[in-house]
Structure 1
Amino acid sequence: MKFLLLLPLGALLGFLPSAHAQTTPVTQKAPATIVTAQFKTSAVCDMCKARLEKSLAYEKGVQSASLDVPTKVLTVTYRADKTTPAALRTAVQKTGYDADELTADARAYNRLPDCCKKTNAVH
């Protein structure tokens, strides 16, 4: 009978926070470094702008991407601990556009609408 009376008391003490106090060290993370890079692209129209900006939005670490169509310069703001300029150039390539000295992936380029291709650009 005494056991039945002590059982709820033991269970209650087992759930008290002080009974299981475990400390975990708190570590401070260094703030992420936000960097901006610019790439010269082969984009020629507003469809290119939308396609590139949307494509880069899915890249890990990218905060924002903006293409200036008249100058063909893509400005990307990203977290330096998540990606690199080389990875971003590759992403631009795989979307079907040139990125600085790297030429567009042929397969991706062939899937672009005619208005977005360098040879057929009328803009």
Structure 2
Amino acid sequence: MQFLKTITLLLVTLMSAQLSFSQQLKKNEKAVIKTHIYCDHCKECETCGKNFQSGLLKLKGVKMYELDQNYMTITVYYNAQKTNLTTIKTRITELGYDADEMKADFSSYEKLDNCCKKI
């Protein structure tokens, strides 16, 4: 009987440890990426803002983002099991914006509205 209790306790402990470990793996990540925002309405800009939103959120693993034009940053919340920071930065550059040390793709930048470009 004591042996059965010991085995049961051991199994419960192992299952708890496994559950705890798997929850840590699923934890979302947060990254603050420096960019350049040249107008005060990039979030709502009819073409650029909506293109940015749909383009970034279509990336598998990206949960949400916050654009801060005062600090010129993009805070991205993502699942590290589905994407990584380099992929996110690459997508941002493909949308025409700088992402930390990575410069905006020139042809994508040229497609932005004039209000969203440095003039």
Q: Which deviates more from structure 2 when the two are superposed, residues 100-109 or residues 45-54?
A: 45-54
1:68-117 CA-partner distances (Å, limit 9, x unpaired): 01111100000000011110100100000011111100110000000111
Confirm or deny that 1:109 pairs with 2:101: no
Identity of aligned residues (%): 37
Tell me which residue corresponds to 1:33.
Answer: 27
Post-superposition offset of 1:46? 4.8
Q: Under a length normalisation based on structure 1, what TM-score does the superposition of the two structures give?
A: 0.68
Provide the rounded CA distance (Å) in 2 between the counterparts of 1:67 and 1:53: 10
Provide, for residues 21-50 of structure 1, a one-character-per-residue CA deviation record: whole Å limited to 9, x for no partner: xxxxxxx79231200001001122355333
Q: Which amino acid aligns with 1:72?
A: M
Partner of 1:82: 82
* Structure 1 pair 112–104 and aligned structure 2 pair: CA distance change class (3 A): same
**TM-score, normalising length from structure 2?**
0.70
One-letter amino acid of the structure 2 residue matched with residue 93 of structure 1: T
Match of 1:56 in 2: 56
CA RMSD of aligned residues (A): 1.8
Contact persistence 1:53–1:67 (CA under 8 A): no
State which structure, 1 or 2, has the greater radius of gyration over its C-alpha atoms.
1
Aligned counterpart, 1:11:
none
Can you give the 5+ residue segments of structure 1 that lack an aligned partner in the other structure?
A: 1-27
Pairing partner for 1:44 from 32, 38, 41: 38
Structure 2 match to 1:67: 67
Pair 1:97-2:89 in alignment = no
Q: What is the count of residue pairs matched by the alignment?
A: 92
